[in-house]
Amino acid sequence: MSDQTQTQAQDSYASASDTTEGKVFHVSGGDWDSLIAELGEAPEERIVVNMGPQHPSTHGVLRLVLELEGETVTDVRCGIGYLHTGIEKNTEYRTFTQGVTFVTRMDYLSPIFNETVYCLAVEKLLGITDDIPERANVIRVLMMELNRISSHLVAIGTGGMELGAITGMMFGFREREMVLDIFEEITGLRMNMAYVRPGGVIQDVPDTAIAKIKELIEVWPSRHQDYVKLLNGQPIWKGRTVGVGYLDLTGCMALGVTGPILRATGLPHDLRKSQPYCGYETYDFDVVTGENCDAYDRYIIRLNEMGESIKIIAQCVERLEKQPGPVMVADKKIAWPAQLALGGDGMGNSLEHIKKIMGESMESLIHHFKLVTEGFRVPAGQVYTAVESPRGELACHMVSDGGTKPWRVHFRDPGFVNLQSTAAMSNGSLVADVIAAVASIDPVMGGVDR
C-alpha cells in the first residue's frame, strides 16, 4: 500500500494535522460523533445525555447514552466494555483447574456460581458427573444458595439506596456480612474463593461454619420482616417501582431474558427445577413468580427467593450432619492433591501433608508436582452446561482438544443478556425511572465485560 493510499485510509477514521514531529492523527469517539450527526439530521429537537460511565446507579462501570425530549426518555443505548478483563481468553492459557481462579472473578457478586458451572462443564467432558461424591454436591448447593442470598441482598440494598432508601442498604449489608463470614469460615476468603474444583470442592465444611449457618437460619425470619416493614408497603418505594421498568413475557422471550425479570412475568422458569444439577431435584423449594412485569415485582421475587434459599440451606445442613464422606472424586489422576488447613498465615497446605510428600513419599511429591503444574488431560469434545444464578441462566460452553488446557471457554452471562432490556424498559419513561429499571435488572459489569 502506498503512503498516499495509507494516509487516505487512515483519514477516513481520524482527522490529522502536521506537526514538527510529523503527521498526528486525532481519534475521537465514533459512537458519540455518529449520534450527533444523526441528531443534526433530525427535524425535531433532541437532547443527548451521557449517564456514566461512572454513575453510581449503574452497578459497575456502565455507560448509558440517553436521548431525551424534556425529561422523557426516547432512546437508551448501553455502552459496555469499561471493565473488560479477558477472562475467557485467559482460561485458554491455564490448566482446567487454574481456570477456576479466573472465572470466579467474572460476576464478582456470585463467584460460587461461576466456579460451579465451569467445573460442571469440565466434569461433563471428563465423563465423571455421576462420580462426584454426594457430600460435594450438597456443599455446592449450600454454597450456591448462600451466595444467592448475598447477591440478592446487594441487589435490594443498592437498589434501595439508588432510590433514596438508605436504610435498605444498611439492612442488606447487615445480613450479607453474616453470609460472607460463613464463606470465610469455610474457604478462608469472603469473595472469589476458587472453592469449587473439578471433581468436587477443595475441602469440607468445618463444624464452626455449620454453627454460623444455623445462626443465619434462625435469625432470617425476623430479618425478612425488616425488609417487609421497611419497603413492601412504603408509598415512596412503591411509587418509584410499581409499573416502572415494564417488560412482559413477549419482550423477555424476544431478548432471551431470564432470572427474576422473566419470573416477574409469571413464568416459573428456573433451571433448578426444569434442568436440575447437583441434585437440586431432591430439595424441597418453590419457584417464586410475579405477575406485573415491573421493578416492584422483581424486588418481591428476590426478597422471597432468599426465603426459599434458606429452606434449601436448612436441608443441606441436615444432610451434611447425617452423611459424612469425601468431598472430592476418588480418581487421584483428577482429584486436587492438596490437603488444606487454616494456619497462622491463612489457608494453605497442612503441615502434615507437606511432611508426608516432602519427607516420606517421593511418589506423592511427584504426583503433587505433576498435577499442580501440568494438570490433567480432558478428552476432546465440547459441552454446554447451565445453572440458575441470581441473575438468570449462567452457562459455560467449553471446547477441549484433548490437552491439559481448554481450547475455548465462553460464558453466557445473564447480566450481559438481560442488559439488552434497558431500552425496552426505559423508552417513554422519565429519566428518574431509568435508575429504577437498571437497578431491577441488577447487572454486574464484571460478568458483562468478562
Give 26-73 as a DSSP string: E---HHHHHHHHHHHH-SS--EEEEE-SS-GGGSSS-EEEEEEETTEE
CATH code at 133? 1.10.645.10
Dig out the grid coordinates for 293 from the structure: 412485569
Which residue, chain included where needed, has cell 417487609? 228
Highest average pLDDT, of 139-148, 226-235, 335-344, 363-372, comes from: 139-148
Q: How far apart are CA 411 and CA 396, in angstroms?
A: 5
Number of folded domains that form the chain: 2
Query: Mean pLDDT over residues 436-449, rounded?
Result: 89
- Supply the pLDDT for residue 6: 44
Does residue 385 share a domain with residue 242?
A: yes
Query: Mean pLDDT over residues 138-155, rounded?
Result: 95
User: What kind and span of H or E run contains 310?
Assistant: helix 295-322
Does residue 397 share a domain with residue 301?
A: yes
Instruction: Name the pTM for this structure.
Output: 0.87
- Supply the pLDDT for residue 10: 43
User: What kind and span of H or E run contains 289?
Assistant: none
Which residue, chain included where needed, has cell 455446592? 140
* 268 in a structural domain: yes
Sign of CA dihedral 324, 330, 334, 339: positive
- Supply the pLDDT for residue 78: 86
What are the pLDDT digits (tens) for 170-218? 888 899 999 999 999 998 888 999 999 999 999 899 989 999 999 999 9
Residue 304: which residues within 8 A CB-CB, separation 6 or more?
A: 288
Domain limits for position 303: 93-334+376-448
Q: How far apart are CA 329 and CA 136, in angstroms?
A: 9
* 367 in a structural domain: no
* 371 in a structural domain: no
Does residue 151 share a domain with residue 21?
A: no
**pLDDT at residue 344 is higher than 60:** yes
Residue 6: which residues within 8 A CB-CB, separation 6 or more?
A: none
Extract the runs of DSSP E, i.e. beta strands, from 114-214. 196-197, 200-201
* 50 in a structural domain: no
- CA-to-CA separations, 70 to 39, 57, 297, 430, 438, in angstroms, rounded: 15, 21, 28, 9, 20
Does residue 221 share a domain with residue 124?
A: yes
Q: How far apart are CA 90 and CA 131, in angstroms?
A: 28
Q: Are 335 and 328 in contact, with CB atoms under 8 Å apart? A: yes
Q: Can you name the residues that pair with 196 across neighbouring β-strands?
A: 201
Side by side, the strands of the sheet bearing 381-389 are 381-389, 392-400, 408-412
Mean pLDDT for all residues in the chain: 86
Tally Cβ neighbours within 10 Å of residue 266: 14
Q: Are 378 and 122 in contact, with CB atoms under 8 Å apart? A: yes
Closest C-alpha to 192, from 310, 103, 281: 103
Which DSSP symbol is given to 206? P
* 245 in a structural domain: yes
> Looking at 44-48, 90-94, 249-253, 408-412, which range is the least confident one?
44-48
Does residue 139 share a domain with residue 22?
A: no
- Supply the pLDDT for residue 53: 75
Does residue 150 share a domain with residue 294?
A: yes
Under the banding of pLDDT at 50, 70 and 90, the label for residue 380 is very high
Q: How far apart are CA 165 and CA 148, in angstroms?
A: 22
Does residue 393 share a domain with residue 264?
A: yes
- Supply the pLDDT for residue 29: 47
Q: How far apart are CA 45 and CA 56, in angstroms?
A: 29
**What single letter denotes the amino acid at residue 196?**
V
Under the banding of pLDDT at 50, 70 and 90, the label for residue 158 is confident
* 281 in a structural domain: yes
Does residue 20 share a domain with residue 125?
A: no
- Supply the pLDDT for residue 292: 92
What are the pLDDT digits (tens) for 258-302? 999 999 999 999 999 999 999 999 999 999 999 999 999 999 999
First to last CA, the chain: 36
What are the pLDDT digits (tens) for 360-375? 778 777 777 888 888 8
Centroid of chain to Cα 422: 18
Does residue 129 share a domain with residue 22?
A: no
* 340 in a structural domain: no
* 295 in a structural domain: yes
Does residue 30 share a domain with residue 141?
A: no
Highest average pLDDT, of 160-164, 234-238, 315-319, 321-325, comes from: 315-319
Does residue 9 share a domain with residue 154?
A: no
- Supply the pLDDT for residue 37: 66
**pLDDT at residue 2 is higher than 60:** no
- Supply the pLDDT for residue 388: 96
Comparing 29 with 193, which gets the higher pLDDT?
193
Does residue 405 share a domain with residue 263?
A: yes
Share of the chain above pLDDT 90, in %: 53
**pLDDT at residue 32 is higher than 80:** no
